[in-house]
Amino acid sequence: MPSVAGDAARKSARKVTVARVPATKPAVAPKRAAAPRVGVLSLQGDHAKHGETLRAVGAEPVRISLPEHLAGLDAMILPGGESSTMLRLLDATGLRVGVEEFVRTRPVLGTCAGLILLASQADRLPGPTLGAIDITATRNAYGRQVHSFTDPVDMPALGGGVLGVFIRAPRITRVGKGVQVIATHAGEPVGVRQGKAVALTFHPELTDDARVHAWFLRDIAGFKLTGVRA
């Protein structure tokens, strides 16, 4: 029986083995041993799935739905969901300014809708995006749900393939100078990085493979992950 909750259960049960990441040199030296506090924007979308994956790699997820939740965060995740809904709620909750400030300088990972929020440009949105990564994103660019798919994605930082779950996914139609392509599918960029901001058009949080989150926290954010065997 296909099971999502089952995935989650397995994920936490196997937290030591799934989170193994090939030894690559961290961009920043590990600075602390305590579990990093990772804020997950929880206005709408699959923030709970990111929370499960973060716990699996030994990080502490913190739900962000109001400005006061931004204090004391080490990194941030912008989850999948409906990007237009999230943008409207960013304004309605007064979170925009704080989140914008955070994602421009601090470690942030965005998946799917999160990539759209981090992009400098995207189409058909009610307001400006956060602009942490100089790319143009086209929303829902593969078509409606019947065109959603799973397929291996090439991600050299993880030493090869990772399963890409693409759900009404966006496409990256322009990659600006200073932006590094970190993942490709069928020759197309599906993952990018600029500074400490990372964005993917697919959903690693919907699989039981936590390597992407572990890589982000260790190699981009520079945390030593306790409870995870390197």
Partner 1 sequence: MKRKDSRGTAHANGKNSKHGAKAAAKGADKSGHVLTQAEQFRLKVGLAEMLKGGVIMDVMNAEQAEIAQEAGACAVMALERIPSQIRKAGGVARMSDPSMIQRIQKNVDIPVMAKVRIGHLVEAEILEALEIDFIDESEVLTPADEVNHVWKHDFKVPFVCGCRDLGEALRRIGEGAAMIRTKGEAGTGNVVEAVRHMRTVVSHMKKLTTLTADELMAEAKHLGAPFELVQQVARTGKLPVPNFAAGGVATPADAALMMKLGAEAVFVGSGIFEVGDPKNPKSQRRDQTRMAKAIVQAVANWNRPDLLKDISTGLPAAMRGISLETLSEDQLLAKRGW
To partner 1, the closest distance from the beta carbon of 101 in angstroms equals 21
By C-beta, is 98 or 195 nearer to partner 1?
A: 98
To partner 1, the closest distance from the beta carbon of 77 in angstroms equals 14
| Whole-number Å distance between alpha carbons of 28 and 37 | 17
CB atoms within 10 A of CB 126: 10
Q: Which residues are catalytic?
A: 112, 203, 205
H helix runs in the chain, sequence order: 4-13, 15-18, 47-56, 83-92, 96-105, 113-118, 211-215
Beta bridge mates, 199:
110, 192
| Residue numbers at the binding site for partner 1 (CB under 8 A) | 1-6, 8-9, 42-49, 65-66, 80-82, 84-85, 88-89, 92-93, 112-113, 124, 126, 139-140, 143-151, 165, 167-168, 186, 203, 206
To partner 1, the closest distance from the beta carbon of 189 in angstroms equals 16
By C-beta, is 65 or 184 nearer to partner 1?
A: 65
| Whole-number Å distance between alpha carbons of 152 and 221 | 25
